[in-house]
């Protein structure tokens, strides 16, 4: 039996540090996704605040974001993926969390690669690991933004993952990288790749969005650029058959790669 899932990727302009306004927007998109039959809706990195170096403003020591999305997931019977920041000493952890329709945490990932070029390492600690989780017949893994540039973790995740989610605040000036890397990660790992970005001007940076869903052979199933909205697609979990028909992973020389790295 081939499992299927309806997935919505939400691309929207995050009002910088305006939690109330952003949470109201998120609720509207969640309702729209549920009305379209979605089983899972995904929001960008730092979904309700945007990202910055203002750690005192962004740190969520009371898990306000988590509680909001847990309750909303239960109210609307839909799984939700969202980004937020948790205090970690004098710095923060950059989280991406997925909760199921019962409000239970399916996954809670901390970004492995802070964007040092932009100074994130001064404000955010590194994550220590990633985990895959199961939902609606898919094995799913999550990464965040700058992680996209490190293909090794995608190869590791795709040993079991059928769908990889990358949530981001990826600026427009490097949007060509975002689009190429998103498609490449889908192709080289033979997975569905959900690339979820924000859009608009946030804290003086411009974002074009370019959120998209790619199939395991790199076909773009849906995308949005320079506008807010939802990408909603129903996908069948045919990953194992695609890999069987074109068994690229069988030819990987993992032990050799470890040696040269």
pLDDT by residue (tens digit) across 93-108?
999 999 999 999 999 9
| DSSP 8-class letter at 39 | S
User: With bands split at pLDDT 50, 70 and 90, how would you rate the model's confidence at 118?
Assistant: very high
Return the axis-axis angle of helices 64-76 and 19-35, rounded to nearest 10°: 20
Instruction: Please determine, for residue 55, whether its predicted confidence score (pLDDT) is greater than 80.
Output: no
CB 156 within 8 A of CB 121: no
d(CA 74, CA 111): 26
Does the predicted model carry a pTM greater than 0.95?
yes
């Amino acid at each position: 039996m081939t499992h299927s899932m309806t997935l919505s990727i939400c691309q929207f302009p995050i009002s910088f540090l305006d939690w109330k306004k952003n949470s109201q927007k998120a609720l509207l998109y969640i309702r729209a996704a549920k009305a379209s039959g979605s089983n899972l809706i995904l929001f960008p990195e730092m979904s309700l605040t945007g990202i910055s170096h203002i750690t005192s403003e962004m740190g969520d020591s009371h898990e306000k974001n988590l509680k909001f999305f847990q309750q909303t997931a239960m109210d609307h019977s839909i799984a939700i993926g969202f980004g937020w920041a948790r205090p970690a000493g004098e710095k923060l952890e950059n989280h991406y969390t997925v909760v199921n329709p019962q409000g239970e945490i399916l996954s809670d990932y901390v970004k492995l690669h802070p964007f040092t070029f932009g100074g994130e390492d001064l404000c955010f600690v590194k994550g220590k690991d990633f985990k895959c989780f199961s939902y609606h017949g898919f094995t799913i893994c999550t990464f965040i933004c700058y992680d996209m540039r490190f293909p090794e973790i995608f190869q590791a995740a795709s040993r079991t993952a059928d769908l990889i989610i990358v949530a981001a605040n990826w600026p427009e000036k490097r949007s060509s990288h975002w689009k190429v890397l998103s498609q490449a990660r889908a192709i080289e790992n033979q997975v569905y790749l959900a690339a979820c970005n924000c859009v608009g001007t946030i804290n003086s940076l411009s974002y074009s969005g370019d959120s998209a869903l790619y199939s395991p052979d790199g076909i773009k199933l849906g995308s949005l650029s320079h506008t807010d909205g939802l990408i909603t697609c129903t996908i069948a979990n045919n990953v194992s058959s695609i890999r069987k028909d074109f068994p690229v992973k069988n030819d990987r020389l993992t032990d050799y790669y470890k040696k040269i790295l």
